[in-house]
Amino acid sequence: MAQVRPSLPTRRGILAAGGALGLGAVLAACSDDTPATGSSDKGGASSGPWTFEDDRGTTVKLDKAPQSVVAFTGVGAALHDYGVQVKGVFGPTTTKDGKPDVQAGDMDVSKVEVIGNVWGEFNVEKYAALKPDLLVSTMFDGAGTLWYVPEESKDQIAKFAPSVGISVYDVQMTKSLERMAALAEALGADMKAAKVVEAKKKFEEAAARLKAAAKARPEIKVLAGSASPDLFYVSTHNLSIDLEYYKALGVNIVEPDAKAIEESGGWFESLSWENVDKYEADVIIMDDRAQAIQPADIAEATWEKLPAVKAGQVIARSPEPILSYAKCTPLLNNLAEAIENAKKVS
């Protein structure tokens, strides 16, 4: 698929911040006896009627807890961390070499039906064959658009099962984490399990560490970037759940040009590689998604001359973090460590 034009103020334009879309393969279906949820006797799911109000204000009502859940890959990975297994996924699941995509987390991709692996791909026949009770995805806009559910087939898809949308738009990471945890509990996750309790505790400790690092090193400028063959994208802190949270904790986020941000729909500024040095930064956090060129593979001379790059002060960033406390904790700790140890090079 061709690279997304960075000027489009649409959900598709959001992907431009990561460059061209990833490629992948469709995996075999899981067996029909694979459980869709965690054990209901340990978690929040019950044998009676099931309801859940999502971030669109829509309340899903079912006769019983959903057993066949199909979700965006990152959502499936988050639910997996809480002990909830989905039956099918759509979105970046495997890379072009067949390995699990970063957004798949610890989910065993061989045990789920992959009904779409790239943007615009959603096999309705495979979806219908799973006899879905519920579809779950994230939302990157205020209009309730379900991420990676194709616009052209959304009405057909909606006929098979109700949907739940979890907002990752203009809220802080903690809010989205709370909402995903609430959904996991409703689907049967045991939120009192030692593993779950410990994960949240470690997240809170990591947040405190990042806040302390930002307070101690306010002079350290952090730039959020993403690389494509022709352009380098600099993200604003606004709208992105991770950057909004980092900013709230006191991290000195580099803000790109306001007019350029407006042209992109509020997300980023696109720069030619000749102008990649437009903004000074001490630490650069780079998009870790498969659709983006990773730092080790960037051969542009202008990139290699950046002070933060020369100082080895480049770390990964997850623009679409897996919404479990276990997966978000390393993001906070890695940024805290980078700020704590950074040399002032800007």
Other CB atoms within 10 Å distance of the CB of residue 216 = 12
pLDDT in tens, 130-161: 999 999 999 999 999 999 999 999 999 999 99
pLDDT in tens, 168-196: 999 999 999 999 999 999 999 999 999 99
d(CA 204, CA 206): 5
pLDDT in tens, 316-333: 999 999 999 999 999 999
pLDDT for residue 45: 58
Residue 40 has pLDDT above 90, yes or no: no
Share of the chain above pLDDT 90, in %: 84
Q: Nearest 5°: CA angle at 329, between 208 and 77?
A: 155
Instruction: Write down the mean pLDDT value for the chain.
Output: 89
Lowest-pLDDT choice from 9-13, 33-37, 101-105, 219-223: 33-37
226 and 319 Cβ atoms separated by less than 8 Å: yes
31 and 12 Cβ atoms separated by less than 8 Å: no
pTM above threshold 0.75: yes
Q: What is the mean pLDDT of residues 94-104?
A: 94
What are the start-end ranges of the E strands in 236-346? 252-253, 268-272, 283-287, 314-317
pLDDT in tens, 260-309: 999 888 999 999 999 999 999 999 999 999 999 999 999 999 999 999 99
114 and 26 Cβ atoms separated by less than 8 Å: yes
d(CA 95, CA 87): 20
Burial of 258 (0-12, 13-18, 19+ CB in 10 A): exposed
d(CA 95, CA 139): 23
Q: How far, in Å, are 109, 132, 255, 284, 295 from residue 129 at the CA level? A: 18, 8, 46, 44, 41
pLDDT band of 48, cuts 50, 70, 90: confident
pLDDT in tens, 190-213: 999 999 999 999 999 999 999 999
